[in-house]
């Protein structure tokens, strides 16, 4: 009888084509995991993730689940998987969960962080994980702008491919913009996110921060629902999936 296992996975997405398995390449996070679990199980196994992260996006707390019949303690399964995963992917926690648990369908909240290096000095050691904006950012203005996004809204203006979604309405529970020395973090928590939504939100807030637009424009962008009215989409390398939350 197969058991259901929940995993928390961290990865540096720099060299991968995103989370989702693709026919054209095996260079995806899901693809790497599927291959290892298939070898362990002796038959094809498909790992279910909480959601897709795009090429170049990172994760500290991606959640996935997998059904296995192999008779091994969960700690040994985790050790086996980590032994064969590349160094930039790791299963940091693994536990048996009820059969009804599904990493995507059971999720109720997701938190992303977009990291901006706000300085004109070279960002030597973290250049792969932060987007650089040299002009000084007004964090207070960015926070005011972000306040317009909190709540239930149609985020079609912040979506790259809205036609692929049945609904573009999402709930944002919190949005914080914080300065930590030369770094500015945009941390956003919601019940789900549209394609490239967080990167477009970050780009729009950054334009508020540099004075290219007013904070109050965010309200109008939401109301009009036109993608071209929102800001530029920032690069994938600054985005991290921080955590996914569940009722169970």
DSSP code per residue over 111-147: EEEEEEE-SSS--TTTTTT-EE--SPP-HHHHHHHHH
Q: Residue 55 — φ and ψ, nearest 5°?
A: -55, 130
pLDDT above 90 covers a percentage of the chain that reads 94
Active-site positions read 54
Fold assignment, 3-97: Alpha-Beta Plaits (3.30.70)
Question: What would the pLDDT profile of 125-158 be if each residue is shown by its tens digit?
Answer: 999 999 999 999 999 999 999 999 999 999 999 9
Integer Cα distance of 65 and 246 in angstroms: 13
- For the beta carbon of residue 191, count every other beta carbon within 10 angstroms: 15
| pLDDT band for position 24 (cuts 50, 70, 90) | confident
Provide the residue ranges of all domains of the chain, joining segments of one domain with +: 3-97, 108-246
Residue 69, SS3 per DSSP:
coil
Task: Please say whether the beta carbons of 51 and 110 come within 8 A.
Answer: yes
- For the beta carbon of residue 182, count every other beta carbon within 10 angstroms: 14
- Would you state the pLDDT for residue 248? 62
Residue holding tokens 């989409």? 233
Architecture of domain 108-246: 2-Layer Sandwich (3.30)
Segment 182-205 mean pLDDT: 97
- Structure tokens, 164: 């692929």
Residue 41 pLDDT greater than 90, yes or no: yes
- Would you state the pLDDT for residue 22? 86
Task: Please say whether the beta carbons of 194 and 233 come within 8 A.
Answer: no
- Would you state the pLDDT for residue 185? 98
- Would you state the pLDDT for residue 39? 97
- For the beta carbon of residue 42, count every other beta carbon within 10 angstroms: 9
Domains 3-97 and 108-246 share a fold: yes
Q: What is the DSSP letter of 23?
A: T
Integer Cα distance of 231 and 158 in angstroms: 8
Please report which residue ranges of the chain form alpha helices under DSSP H: 29-41, 74-84, 139-147, 197-209, 217-224
Q: Which residue has the higher pLDDT, 164 or 213?
A: 213
């Amino acid at each position: 009888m197969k058991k259901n296992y929940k995993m928390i996975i961290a990865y540096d997405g720099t060299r991968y084509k995103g989370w989702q398995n693709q026919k054209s390449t095996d260079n995806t996070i899901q693809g790497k995991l599927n291959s290892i679990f298939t070898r362990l199980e002796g038959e094809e196994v498909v790992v279910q993730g909480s959601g897709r992260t795009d090429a170049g996006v990172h994760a500290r707390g991606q959640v996935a689940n997998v059904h296995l019949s192999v008779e091994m303690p969960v700690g040994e399964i985790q050790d086996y998987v980590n032994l064969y995963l590349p160094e930039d992917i790791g299963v940091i926690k693994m536990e048996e969960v009820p059969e009804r648990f599904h990493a995507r369908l059971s999720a109720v909240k997701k938190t992303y962080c977009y990291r901006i290096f706000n300085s004109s000095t070279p960002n030597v050691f973290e250049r792969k994980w932060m987007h650089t904006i040299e002009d000084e950012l007004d964090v207070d203005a960015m926070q005011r702008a972000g306040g317009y996004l909190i709540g239930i809204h149609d985020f079609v203006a912040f979506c790259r491919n809205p036609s692929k979604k049945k609904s573009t309405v999402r709930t944002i529970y919190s949005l914080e913009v914080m300065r930590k020395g030369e770094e500015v973090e945009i941390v956003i928590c919601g019940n789900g996110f549209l394609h490239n939504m967080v990167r477009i939100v970050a780009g729009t807030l950054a334009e508020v921060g540099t004075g290219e637009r007013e904070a109050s424009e965010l309200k109008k962008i939401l109301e009009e629902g036109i993608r071209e009215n929102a800001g530029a989409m920032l690069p994938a390398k600054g985005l991290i999936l921080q955590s996914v939350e569940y009722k169970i």
